[in-house]
Amino acid sequence: MNHLISIFNPLLLTNALKNSFSGLTRATKSERAFQQELVLLIVGSIAAFILTDINVERAILVGSLAAVLIVELMNSAIEATIDRVGTELHPLSKKAKDLGSAAVFVSLISAAVIWLIILV
């Protein structure tokens, strides 16, 4: 039981929440792609509620755009880590950044396909 209490320590949860908001704030202020995709999420969420009256479809449409933001955050984390390690050109650094970028691209294509399937 004490283990469960330590897992759900309010102080730890509060610190984790602060770190999460710090990351979101940093991404919103400094990551251009995140800013663009955040606007896409906001506009897309409004559009989802206008274009369909089925809640499951709305959830899928909005969720697909939220997934893009999640992948973008992960890509930004990869890029920051690579930049922290070093700024010199290295094939593995390029590979990591390219794969992160590809993940964002795949998430955007997936979101577009989901929107087409549901709305067309």
Enumerate the active-site residues. 72
Phi, psi of 8 (to 5 degrees): -100, 35
Residue whose C-alpha is closest to residue 65's, from 32, 33, 97, 43: 43
How many angstroms separate the CA atoms of 27 and 82, rounded? 17
